[in-house]
């Protein structure tokens, strides 16, 4: 076999320009994440309408606000190992279809119990879709741009949540709260058809799992015709190999400390995100703002996720753990000041937006950090389990604020309590860095992965 007939897939991706094929994958994954953000946040924006129409108290909203988060956790924890065994493409397409159908059915709920059950099913689909989109995008990116592209893609989540807020502020007065769920259901169903027709399997996954060379070659040729003469494929990894697969990698001695610290950081970040996105419209309304103004100001919080693009550039050049840790530390400070600014609308708008930029920059950067931390044999599980375990932070955040309101804690006291989670996330990432220091620009290690 000639030397020219053997292609290292990651070197091939690194050495060729980012192709129209890769931009197509990026676009499809970004829309998946955007719809994930829209459907996840939708329940928070329709919550005031549910209280008014069904005559329920705020504590009764706890289960329905958290049902999707339980589903998100279950979907992520189950889909990760399946992704490392069955592939990224089929799980991504199926999960998008699932959360679209469930969200569509939610629009026809007639009771809080029905809505809670359907939100759980929606969450299962959402939880499976997100990590597979992140993993797929990461495995088609050149090393030098991976964090930038994954973070740019992940900006779709807070943008989708913010877009949901602006749409809800317009849709609900004109068409009722059910229209938000109808839109959140029909769009993913259409997207699933596009994924079925256009989304390829990950080339790195195919090499790692010894798929036929013809399939790998066909995918690489859509990046560049230089792959036409290849008859065999190898792969390199920057992360140390463990000889295991899926959960065996994530829980191995080489990765366990980093895995736990990623889980803690993501958990604490979602405590802040869901405590804010689910409860801020209600809390601001109770603080004296009109329902429409409360919804619009709350929508500024997830809009701040666009800062993740700059974070991705910095992560590709400098120490990613320290960059994200700094963002979490500043998040803790800014979230605290939300509670101090409620008496001044101008200051409140500014501090909510700044807190959103910092919070969502940190949180949106976490999947890229996890994708770079694990080797291909465990990447799907590693990313999915971080997202899955972290989702319990969203559940905790929703119930935390419900409990604080039950105890009549002040607006300032609620946000001071939530801010503590940012400091804990910062410490977790610094521990991860100390446990396995990262060397920027370290050479890749050859893995025993071939496609013939």
Mean pLDDT (whole number) for 334-352: 81
Asked if the model's pLDDT at residue 78 lies above 90, the reply is no
Mean pLDDT (whole number) for 175-199: 88
Name 334's Cβ contacts closer than 8 Å, sequence gap at least 6. Answer: 351, 354, 355, 358, 359
The DSSP code sequence of 140-192 is TS-GGGHHHHHHHHHTHHHHHHHHHHHHHHHHHHHH-THHHHHHHHHHHHHHH
Residue among 169, 125, 120 nearest 35 (CA): 125
Beta 6-8 vs 232-237: how paired, if at all? parallel
d(CA 106, CA 122): 9
Mean pLDDT (whole number) for 277-282: 76
**189 burial via Cβ count (<10 Å: 0-12, 13-18, 19+):** middle
The pLDDT of residue 225 is 83
How does residue 1 score in pLDDT terms, banded at 50, 70 and 90? very low
Question: What is the percentage of the chain residues whose pLDDT exceeds 90?
Answer: 14
CATH number of 3-451: 1.20.1250.20
How does residue 150 score in pLDDT terms, banded at 50, 70 and 90? confident
How does residue 260 score in pLDDT terms, banded at 50, 70 and 90? very high
Note the pLDDT tens digit of each residue in 409-443. Answer: 887 888 889 899 999 999 999 999 887 655 443 33
Two structure tokens written together for 242: 């463990």
**pTM attached to this predicted model:** 0.73
Asked if the model's pLDDT at residue 51 lies above 80, the reply is no
The pLDDT of residue 304 is 57
pLDDT higher for 240 or 308? 308
pLDDT higher for 147 or 335? 335
pLDDT higher for 93 or 7? 93
3-state SS class at 451: strand
pLDDT higher for 170 or 323? 323
């Amino acid at each position: 076999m000639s030397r020219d007939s053997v292609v290292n897939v990651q070197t091939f991706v690194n050495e060729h320009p980012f192709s129209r094929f890769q931009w197509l994958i990026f676009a499809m994954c970004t829309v998946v994440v955007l719809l994930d953000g829209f459907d996840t946040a939708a329940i928070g924006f329709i919550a005031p309408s549910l209280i008014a129409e069904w005559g329920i108290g705020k504590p009764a909203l706890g289960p329905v606000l958290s049902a999707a988060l339980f589903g998100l956790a279950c979907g992520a924890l189950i889909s990760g190992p399946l992704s490392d065994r069955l592939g990224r493409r089929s799980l991504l397409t199926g999960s998008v279809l699932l959360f679209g159908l469930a969200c569509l059915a939610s629009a026809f709920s007639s009771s809080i119990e029905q809505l809670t059950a359907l939100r759980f099913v929606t969450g299962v689909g959402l939880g499976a879709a997100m990590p597979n989109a992140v993993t797929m995008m990461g495995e088609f990116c050149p090393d030098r741009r991976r964090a930038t592209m994954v973070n740019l893609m992940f900006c779709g989540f807070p943008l989708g949540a913010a877009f949901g807020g602006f749409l809800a502020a317009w849709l609900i007065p004109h068409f009722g709260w059910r229209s938000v769920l109808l839109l959140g259901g029909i769009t993913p169903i259409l997207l699933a058809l596009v994924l079925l027709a256009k989304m390829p399997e990950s080339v790195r996954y195919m090499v790692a799992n010894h798929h036929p060379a013809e399939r790998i070659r066909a995918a690489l040729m859509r990046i560049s015709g230089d792959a036409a003469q290849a008859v065999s494929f190898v792969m390199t990894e920057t992360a140390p190999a463990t000889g295991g697969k899926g959960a065996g990698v994530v829980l191995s001695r080489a990765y366990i400390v980093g895995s736990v610290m990623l889980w803690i950081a993501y958990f604490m970040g979602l405590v802040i995100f869901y405590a804010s996105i689910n409860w801020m419209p209600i809390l601001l309304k109770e603080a004296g703002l009109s329902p429409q103004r409360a919804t619009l100001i709350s929508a500024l919080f997830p809009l701040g996720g666009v800062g993740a693009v700059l974070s991705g550039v910095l992560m590709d050049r400098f120490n990613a753990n320290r960059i994200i840790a700094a963002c979490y530390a500043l998040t803790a400070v800014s979230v605290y000041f939300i509670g101090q600014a409620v008496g001044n609308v101008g200051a409140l708008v500014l501090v909510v937006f700044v807190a959103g930029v910092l919070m969502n920059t940190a949180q949106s950067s976490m999947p890229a950090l996890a994708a770079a931390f694990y080797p291909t044999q465990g990447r799907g599980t590693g990313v999915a389990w971080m997202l899955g375990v972290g989702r319990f932070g969203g559940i905790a955040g929703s119930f935390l604020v419900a409990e604080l309101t039950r105890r009549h804690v002040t607006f300032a006291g609620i946000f001071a309590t939530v801010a503590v989670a940012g400091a804990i996330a910062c410490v977790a990432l610094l521990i991860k860095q100390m446990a396995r220091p990262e060397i920027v620009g370290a050479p890749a290690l050859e893995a025993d992965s071939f496609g013939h």
